[in-house]
Structure 1
Amino acid sequence: MAIDSPSWLKSSIIYEVFVRNYGNAGTFNDIYNDIERIKALGADILWFMPFYPIGKVGRKGTHGSPYSIKDYEEISKEIGNKRDFKRLIDKAHDNGLKIMIDIVFNHTAIDSKLAETHPEWFMKDQNGKLTRKVEDWNDVYDLDYDNLDLWDYLINVLDGWIDLGVDAFRCDVASLVPLEFWKKSRELLNQKKEIIWLAETLDPKFIHDLRTKGYDVHSDSEVYQAFDLTYDYDGFYYLRSYFSGEKDLKHFFEHVFLQETIFPKNSLKLRFLENHDNPRIASVLEGKNKIKNWTVLYNLLPGASLIYAGQELMMEKLPNLFEKDSIKWDKGDYEFLSFFKKIIKLTKEIKSTCNQFSLCELSEGIVMIKWNGEEEEYITILNLEDRHGKIPVDFNLYGTDLITNETVSIQNYFVISKLPMIIKVR
Structure 2
Amino acid sequence: MAKTTNVALRSQLIYSIFPRNYTEQGGFKAIQADLPRIKALGTDIIWLMPIYPVGEKNRKGALGSPYAIKDYRGINPELGTRADFEALTQAIHEQGMRVILDIVYNHTSPDSLLVQQHPDWFFKKPNGQFGNRVADWSDIIDLDYANHELWDYQIETLKQWAQFVDGFRCDVAPLVPLEFWLAARQALAAVKPNLIWLAESNDPQFLKQVRDQGFEDLSDSELYQAFDMVYDYDVIDDLHDTAAGKRSLAEFARILMKQDVTFPRNYVKMRFLENHDVPRAASYLTDPQTLRNWLAFNLFEKGSGLIYAGQEFGQAHLPSLFDADPVALTGPLDLSDLIQRVATLKHQELLTQGAYTVTAINDQVMQVQYRLGDQLIVGLFALRPFTGTVACELTDGKYLNQLTDTMVTVKNHQVLLTNAPIILQK
Normalising by structure 2, what TM-score? 0.95
Please say if residues 395 and 411 of structure 1, whose CA atoms lie closer than 8 Å, have aligned partners that are also in contact.
no
Q: Deviations over 1:343-392 (max 9, x none)?
A: 32223337556511111111112111111123421111111101234456
Q: Among the aligned pairs, what percent are the same residue?
A: 39
Please tell me the residue identity of whatever aligns with 2:377: Y
Q: Deviations over 1:212-269 (max 9, x none)?
A: 1111111110111110000010011211222344432333221111111111111110
Please say if residues 408 and 423 of structure 1, whose CA atoms lie closer than 8 Å, have aligned partners that are also in contact.
no
Greater CA deviation, 51-60 or 410-419?
Answer: 410-419
CA-atom RMSD, angstroms?
Answer: 1.8
Q: What is the alpha-carbon distance in structure 2 between the residues aligned to residue 224 and residue 353 of structure 1?
A: 18
- TM-aligned CA distance change 1:417 to 1:347, over 3 Å: farther
Q: What is the alpha-carbon distance in structure 1 between the residues aligned to residue 386 and residue 394 of structure 2?
A: 21
**Residue 63 (structure 1) aligned with residue 60 (structure 2):** no
- Give 1:421's aligned residue: 422
CA shift at 1:138, angstroms? 1.1
Q: What is the alpha-carbon distance in structure 2 between the residues aligned to residue 226 and residue 294 of structure 1?
A: 30
- Describe the SS at the equivalent of 1:331: coil
Q: What is the alpha-carbon distance in structure 2 between the residues aligned to residue 229 and residue 38 of structure 1?
A: 22
- Describe the SS at the equivalent of 2:54: coil
Please tell me the residue identity of whatever aligns with 1:407: V
- 1:17-36 equivalences under 5 Å are 17-36=17-36
Please say if residues 16 and 309 of structure 2, whose CA atoms lie closer than 8 Å, have aligned partners that are also in contact.
yes
Please say if residues 202 and 234 of structure 1, whose CA atoms lie closer than 8 Å, have aligned partners that are also in contact.
yes
Please say if residues 8 and 352 of structure 1, whose CA atoms lie closer than 8 Å, have aligned partners that are also in contact.
no
- Give 1:15's aligned residue: 15
- Give 2:204's aligned residue: 204
CA shift at 1:8, angstroms? 2.2
Listed as ranges, the gaps of 5+ residues in structure 2 are: none
- Give 2:297's aligned residue: 297
- TM-aligned CA distance change 1:396 to 1:144, over 3 Å: same
- Give 1:217's aligned residue: 217
CA shift at 1:131, angstroms? 1.4
- 1:144-183 equivalences under 5 Å are 144-163=144-163, 165-183=164-182
- Give 2:136's aligned residue: 136
Please tell me the residue identity of whatever aligns with 1:33: A
Q: Deviations over 1:93-120 (max 9, x none)?
A: 1111111000100000011111111110
CA shift at 1:50, angstroms? 0.6
Please tell me the residue identity of whatever aligns with 2:347: K
- Give 2:252's aligned residue: 252
Please say if residues 392 and 410 of structure 2, whose CA atoms lie closer than 8 Å, have aligned partners that are also in contact.
no
CA shift at 1:413, angstroms? 4.5
Please tell me the residue identity of whatever aligns with 1:347: K
Greater CA deviation, 120-129 or 244-253?
Answer: 244-253
Please say if residues 172 and 202 of structure 2, whose CA atoms lie closer than 8 Å, have aligned partners that are also in contact.
yes
Q: Deviations over 1:120-158 (max 9, x none)?
A: 000001121111123331111000010010000000110
**Residue 184 (structure 1) aligned with residue 183 (structure 2):** yes
CA shift at 1:210, angstroms? 0.7
Q: What is the alpha-carbon distance in structure 1 between the residues aligned to residue 379 and residue 396 of structure 2?
A: 11
Q: What is the alpha-carbon distance in structure 2 between the residues aligned to residue 344 and residue 391 of structure 1?
A: 25
- Describe the SS at the equivalent of 2:279: coil
Q: What is the alpha-carbon distance in structure 2 between the residues aligned to residue 313 and residue 186 of structure 1?
A: 36
- TM-aligned CA distance change 1:329 to 1:214, over 3 Å: same
Q: What is the alpha-carbon distance in structure 2 between the residues aligned to residue 375 and residue 389 of structure 1?
A: 28
Greater CA deviation, 105-114 or 349-358?
Answer: 349-358
Q: What is the alpha-carbon distance in structure 2 between the residues aligned to residue 257 and residue 200 of structure 1?
A: 21
CA shift at 1:177, angstroms? 0.2
Please tell me the residue identity of whatever aligns with 1:172: D
Please say if residues 401 and 408 of structure 1, whose CA atoms lie closer than 8 Å, have aligned partners that are also in contact.
no
Q: Deviations over 1:185-218 (max 9, x none)?
A: 0001012222110000110000011111111111
**Residue 363 (structure 1) aligned with residue 362 (structure 2):** yes
Normalising by structure 1, what TM-score? 0.95
